[in-house]
Amino acid sequence: MNGDWLIRGRDGRLGVYLSTQDAVLCRAERAPGASWAPARTVGGEQTLLPPPALGHGADRYAHLVSWRPTVPGESGLVHSTHFRPRLAALDWVPIGHPDKKGDRTGTPAVAVDAEGRAHVFVPNKGGGVSMVAQREKGGWDPWRDLKGRDVQDQLAAVTGESGRVELYAAVPGGLLHWLQEEAGAVPVLAEAVEARARPGTLYALATSADATTLFYTDDAGDLCAWRPGADPVVVLASAGPGPVSAVRCELDGHDCTLLAQRSVSGRVAFAAYPTERESAGAWWTESGPGLPSDAVVSVAVDAADRVVAATLSPSTGTLLLTHRKNEPGLALEAWREV
């Protein structure tokens, strides 16, 4: 899943989205803090091509996008909205292809603006990025070519605290940043910076009223942070080879950014530091059991404002969950299978 697959819905329930070989499933709490219901298929019975993408905005509605086969050798993108985790999602709706027709061009990414409109980004066959966005009163705008060259797969889309949508992408030897200059505008390529990001490690987070931060792992194995307008900085050595998940939360009265990553030992590693103060330093603390090599981790904040973390192994289907204890520091409850 490209995006945060652990989310808190509008009704306060936690939900997770799981990708199979031909569908997207959702599991959710029966009530905030209660037991979890079995998995349900999202968007009806329709064959999908992984990996899907997920985004959610201030209204906490989930927007999902995936490729689906159309005719032999060709595919098209489809979109579904999920208003509450325990209700059925809307049926998948076709939203076209960045090059009008053809096979898959890359993994999509989704961000949702302050008006609740989904913005879907995907690499195109020309090596750049294309976007299609929902209209405020229904339907979709035409596809737009946002330019760019040699864009690598696994884009990172994010919505800033302003409600405007941003996009990050890696290219050989650099990073690109697109930004909406005003609400509803087409994002423009605003900045590029030299960096050597490992493919598939980009993660973007809104970190203040004026800025978003891109996290990525560089060729040296360091976890780095970049805020446009400044140079990338090293936060700490990466705990493992996979992507990082991040969330802003309050820890002991301080606005902090919490990072989580599957470590080389197979356990989940956590690190926290004051938001946008990477110079303060951070260090990893491992938690939970050893996980399969394909396990991924996601972090969020629940209805009680507690940090919650989840791990999912696609090969086994095992979903593990933990919450922060009600005590100083970042002590976590025992991990449990749900």
Model confidence at 242, in pLDDT bands (50, 70, 90)? confident
3-state secondary structure of 248: strand
- Whether the predicted pLDDT of 45 surpasses 90: no
List, in sequence order, every residue forming a beta bridge with 186; answer none if it has no partner.
none
Q: Is 271 a member of any domain? A: yes
Q: Is 107 a member of any domain? A: no
- Which residues are CB-neighbours of 33 under 8 A, at least 6 positions away? 302, 303, 304
Q: Cβ atoms within 10 A of the Cβ of 157, count? A: 27
Per the rule left: phi > 0, alpha: psi between -120 and 50, beta: everything else, 33 is left
Q: Distance between CA 232 and CA 175 in Å, rounded?
A: 10
Look over the chain and give the mean of its residue pLDDT values, rounded to a whole number: 95
Q: Is 127 a member of any domain? A: no
Q: Is 201 a member of any domain? A: no
Q: Do 128 and 149 touch, CB atoms closer than 8 A? A: yes
- Whether the predicted pLDDT of 189 surpasses 80: yes
- Whether the predicted pLDDT of 81 surpasses 90: yes
- Whether the predicted pLDDT of 272 surpasses 90: yes
Range 294-302 average pLDDT:
95
Q: What is the pLDDT of residues 202-220, one digit of tens each?
A: 999 999 999 999 999 999 9
Per the structure, the count of domains in the chain is 1
Return the closest-CA partner of residue 121 out of 149, 92, 91, 95: 95
3-state secondary structure of 216: strand
Q: Is 246 a member of any domain? A: yes
3-state secondary structure of 291: coil
Range 102-111 average pLDDT:
97
Q: Is 329 a member of any domain? A: yes
Both tokens of residue 67? 């490729």
Between 53-62, 66-75, 125-134, the lowest mean confidence (pLDDT) is in 53-62
Task: Calculate what percentage of the chain has a pLDDT beyond 70.
Answer: 99
Between 56-60, 126-130, 152-156, the lowest mean confidence (pLDDT) is in 56-60
Range 117-139 average pLDDT:
95
The reported pLDDT for the residue numbered 314 is 85
CA distances to 62, 148, 222, 276, 327 from 111, rounded to whole Å, are: 10, 19, 27, 22, 34
Range 132-150 average pLDDT:
94
Return the closest-CA partner of residue 66 out of 119, 22, 31, 34: 22
CA distances to 40, 99, 171, 201, 249 from 34, rounded to whole Å, are: 18, 45, 44, 33, 22
Q: Do 107 and 152 touch, CB atoms closer than 8 A? A: no
Classify burial at 194, counting beta carbons within 10 Å of its beta carbon; exposed 0-12, middle 13-18, buried 19 or more: exposed
- Whether the predicted pLDDT of 86 surpasses 80: no
Q: Do 282 and 293 touch, CB atoms closer than 8 A? A: no
Q: Distance between CA 103 and CA 51 in Å, rounded?
A: 14
Q: Is 144 a member of any domain? A: no
Q: Distance between CA 177 and CA 74 in Å, rounded?
A: 30
* Owner of token pair 């002991």: 252
Task: Calculate what percentage of the chain has a pLDDT beyond 90.
Answer: 88
Domain hosting residue 281, numbered range: 239-338
Range 81-107 average pLDDT:
91
Q: Is 264 a member of any domain? A: yes
Amino acid at position 327, single letter? E
The reported pLDDT for the residue numbered 137 is 82
Range 59-67 average pLDDT:
95
Amino acid at position 178, single letter? W
